[in-house]
């Protein structure tokens, strides 16, 4: 449907066709995102209340949890309204999706927060403040550069400024997700190595449960990344864009479960 007049939308812009089947599947994933968000939010409320009573103030860890929940739900709602045609395509819509909902300029949302939460889990066993600081700063800078590069490519591609931009986005978007998957797996492997060499090898056999559980959750997390990359190749991208928030909420739930298990084992 060429002829859109949204801000900076070129005259040749052709809105992607969304089939009825694709819309129904997207609606299912939107509902699933809301359900998972409610479940994770209930956990976050309990965690926030416990931290507040214990410390008298909110922790950065809790703030990152809520940042992921809020940004995922804003993303999911905006995508659904866009698919329904309530929000028209425009520069401001795509800019907003990348700056706030996806957090590519606000380097504290979604991907950044999830990776920092994972790094926080590592710091519980690392026992090295200097190495912990280098890890968190390194992740912040590396992911920040990747996010900004995606921001630069994604908006012109979504506005269909030229076939070259569209092609560049198809390649780099997949590459970005693959890099995230590699970083996620590397951090989980490092965590399992620390558990085995520093805790289990030291005679703390109860941490074997933690090691096994993390191995299973790491496989699930990587499977979600692979699924997300695979869905990019679907002819109807309504399913891919709507499953994106669900994947991040599921990853957040995994991290919160890991934190609870660490607390139980160490307690």
- pLDDT reported for residue 40: 92
For residue 107, pLDDT over 50 is answered with no
For residue 28, pLDDT over 50 is answered with yes
Number of domains in the chain: 1
199 assigned to some structural domain: yes
Q: Which domain holds residue 56?
A: 20-266
- pLDDT reported for residue 102: 47
Residue positions counted in the chain: 267
Distance between CA atoms of residues 11 and 5, nearest Å: 7
- pLDDT reported for residue 68: 86
138 assigned to some structural domain: yes
Return contacts of 219-224, CB within 8 angstroms, 24+ apart: 220/254, 221/184, 221/185, 221/188, 221/251, 221/254, 222/181, 222/184, 222/185, 224/250, 224/251
Interval 198-225: pLDDT, tens: 888 877 888 888 888 889 988 998 898 8
- pLDDT reported for residue 216: 92
For residue 78, pLDDT over 80 is answered with yes
**Cα dihedral across residues 128, 132, 135, 138: positive or negative:** negative
132 assigned to some structural domain: yes
210 assigned to some structural domain: yes
120 assigned to some structural domain: yes
Interval 225-246: pLDDT, tens: 888 888 887 777 767 778 888 8
What is the pLDDT of the chain when averaged over all its residues? 81
Average confidence (pLDDT) over 157-165: 86
CA angle 108, 112, 114 (to 5 degrees): 115
**Global confidence as pTM:** 0.84
8 assigned to some structural domain: no
12 assigned to some structural domain: no
CATH number at residue 139: 1.20.1070
Q: What are the Cα distances from residue 259, in Å, to 117, 119, 144, 185, 187?
A: 9, 12, 25, 17, 15
For residue 155, pLDDT over 90 is answered with no
pLDDT over 70, % of the chain: 88
Q: How confident is the model at residue 35 (pLDDT cuts 50, 70, 90)?
A: very high
């Amino acid at each position: 449907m060429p002829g859109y007049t949204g801000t900076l939308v070129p005259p040749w812009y052709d809105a992607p066709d969304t089939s009825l089947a694709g819309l129904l599947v997207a609606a299912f994933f939107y509902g699933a995102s809301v359900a998972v968000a409610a479940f994770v939010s209930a956990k976050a409320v309990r965690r926030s209340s416990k931290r507040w009573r214990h410390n008298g103030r909110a922790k950065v860890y809790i703030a990152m949890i809520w940042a992921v929940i809020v940004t995922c739900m804003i993303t999911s709602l905006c995508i659904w309204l866009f698919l329904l045609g309530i929000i028209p395509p425009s520069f401001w819509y795509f800019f907003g999706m990348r700056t706030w909902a996806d957090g590519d300029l606000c380097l504290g949302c979604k991907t950044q927060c999830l990776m920092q939460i994972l790094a926080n889990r590592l710091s519980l066993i690392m026992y090295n403040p200097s190495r912990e600081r280098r890890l968190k700063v390194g992740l912040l800078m590396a992911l920040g550069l990747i996010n900004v590069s995606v921001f630069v490519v994604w908006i012109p591609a979504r506005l269909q400024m030229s076939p070259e931009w569209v092609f560049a986005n198809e390649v780099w978007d997949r590459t970005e997700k693959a890099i995230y998957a590699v970083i996620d797996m590397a951090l989980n492997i490092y965590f399992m190595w620390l558990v085995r060499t520093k805790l289990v090898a030291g005679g703390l056999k109860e941490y074997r449960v933690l090691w096994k559980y993390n191995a299973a959750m790491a496989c699930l997390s990587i499977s979600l990344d692979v699924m997300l990359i695979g869905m990019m190749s679907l002819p109807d991208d309504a399913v891919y864009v709507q499953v994106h928030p669900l994947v991040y909420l599921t990853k957040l739930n995994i991290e919160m479960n890991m934190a609870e298990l660490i607390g139980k084992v160490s307690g």
